[in-house]
Structure 1
Amino acid sequence: DNRDWPAYNEGLVKVGEYLLDLEWVKGWYAELAHMNDGKVGAPYRFPKSLIELQVLWHTKSIPYRMIEGMTRSLSKLGKLPSYNNYSTTNRRANRLDYSLVPPDGQNLVLFSDGTGLQAVNGGEYLREKYGKKNRRWVQIVILGDPNTKEPVHFEVHLSPESETDSALRQMKHIIENGGNNIDSFGGDGAFDNMDLWDFLRDNDIEPAIKPDKSAREDTDNEIRNRHAKERKKSYRNWARKHRYGMRWPATEGIFSAIKRIFGETLRASSEIGMEKEASAKIWAYKRMRKYAKALN
């Protein structure tokens, strides 16, 4: 492992700082005024920044009732103007948008893969609803950047779906809504799908998808045919040429870090709760990395 260990360790320390960074409190009332400007119905009493901090704590497996106690203590110490109860936090957390904002104006290099988080309290509910023995796992499919080692986009599925279909939807969303170009896209053999190959060809995206050993070389997609021939001739040369080795830091490396920091389980029991809790782990990971980088 050739990583810079002093920098790595300091990054973890900075992530810890983020969990108690209260600089945003200076703008408490200004943020509330902005949130309530033109709002119909009861006004917000607590700024979004407070809810986001509490969500970060919750991703570390701290129950919302304990989070209420932590917030109350900070209020008593004069660090917060007031505190909210756990039900307010839970309700507001389930309404937050955890989608990621792709880097603006960049040509993206992306790899995709999927993983699962275990639904501890919602497992029986998932099995009863979807009728399968393996429905205790909530699926996450990401598009990751091997250069930043961060997720760029993701989807959460309570019932497992095709990773290929998910990757296609996500890339289309980025192209149509993000103002970004995708230079290349890669994935393991599970993504060796003709619809995906055709999409990459039609959008001038360089593929780094591992073809099957016995893949046909006479399809209607000449790019896929060329990859199949190269892979059969020498997998090592094919992988080196198309930078297939970048797949790990863009996918499995991200999943490993998220599970190490936030755990592999979900505590929520409702559909919306499980979906939001899984999404919050991805969102929090990127927020923490961004914070650590900003302090460098």
Structure 2
Amino acid sequence: MRYPIIAGIDGTEASHDAIDWAADEARLRRVPLHLLHAWLGEMLYAPAGWEVERTRDAGAEALRAAAERAGAHHPELEITTDLVDGYARDSLVTASQDADLLVLGTRGSGGFSRLLVGSTSLHVSSHALCPVVMVHPSERRAAEDRAAEGGVLVGVDSEQHSAGVLEFALAAAERRHWPLKAVYAWSNPRPDSSGPEFPSAYREDQLADAHERRLLEMLADARRRHPGVEVTGTVERAGAAQLLVALSEVHQLVVVGRHGTVRGPMRRLGSVSQAVVQHTHCPVAVVPVD
């Protein structure tokens, strides 16, 4: 069975960039593109006096325009649409059960669209059962301008937590013929103020060497599985989120894992993933690892 790539659309500029990114990815994966618009939440943004039916009709028109846009770029693509009588966050999470990937634009709120990702995007990236790619307005075009500088940037920590994240990043790089850079950020363990002085095993040089060996082992396996991808890695004593955001300026896609989650309605993004989602300079993929 071919699971589709699903793009959540709302007719805004953020949605247009997400459609373009999703259509490109669906073509590369050779899977259908499914465009979904859940219109009930749009009542919050509708002009005063708009009736429910008018808002629903506007959603149907947005879907039609989105399908036309995607088809114009990729006429060979199988495209379907769905106008859902529901709210976007719930509808997209439900749809993620049968999707290869969700792609969202990030219409922010409060007047800070570049720095404040909308609550729907954050909720979906925290709860979706498949990876989620979020594309800030105009960032797709800016990322393409950086094509000669860098490809996929992926944050890794341990082999246990990073295997799926690294595989997603490698596959993305391979499909688009981009290089991949893996970043392993670390910091000294916090000492117990009431305990003894750090043992020698925790000296900075020993920690750095251990992290370097761990990353080299992960990347050696990655190169074996994806020999066509140019793979490099770096180990830095730094905050992971700050480092990934800074490096995103010269990359076209950042990939992070969804860590720190719990089951049920309180599931959330970990602090690193949330910071990267909010501040990255290129599209970002959040890959569930739990």
Higher helix share: 1
- Structure ranking higher on relative contact order (CA contacts 8 Å, 6+ apart): 1
Q: TM-score, normalised by structure 1?
A: 0.30
Q: TM-score, normalised by structure 2?
A: 0.30
